[in-house]
Amino acid sequence: MIDLRSDTVTRPSRAMLEAMMAAPVGDDVYGDDPTVNALQHYAAALSGKEAALFLPTGTQANLVALLSHCERGEEYIVGQGAHNYLYEAGGAAVLGSISAAAHRCRRRRYAAAGERGGKD
């Protein structure tokens, strides 16, 4: 059985290892990886878009979103109960040098300035 909960819980089978060893590879930073290029073209066609970005995990998607909006040394505003604040904040700090400015939320909305009473 292949368990996709994490990349650490399933050990590759011999067939999987052989497929990895036989796969054509290249540097995807320079657009030279045929497997990555094929996946990107497939995702674009599947979504009906000119181009697509495949992010296999929510953590990766959250980091891409944060890093596309923040420069190094900046902060992002987040609710104290948000998943990326509680479980992923270290990634933004380590990989992007950005920090979380956590605020109280009520019913999934940010408290207005008057509701906070100037505290936070």
| Dihedral sign (CA 108, 114, 115, 119) | positive
Asked if residue 97 is part of any domain, the answer here is yes
Judge contact between 30 and 16, C-beta under 8 A: no
Predicted pLDDT at 120: 43
pLDDT digits (tens, 9 = 90+) for 5-64: 777 777 888 999 999 999 999 998 898 999 889 988 898 898 888 876 778 888 999 999
The domain containing residue 22 runs over which residues? 7-54
Percentage with pLDDT > 90 across the chain: 40
How many domains would you assign to the chain? Answer: 2
Asked if residue 68 is part of any domain, the answer here is yes
- Among residues 96, 120, 93, the alpha carbon closest in space to that of 106 is found at 120
pLDDT digits (tens, 9 = 90+) for 53-97: 778 888 999 999 999 999 999 999 998 888 888 888 688 999 999
Q: Mean pLDDT across the chain, nearest whole number?
A: 84
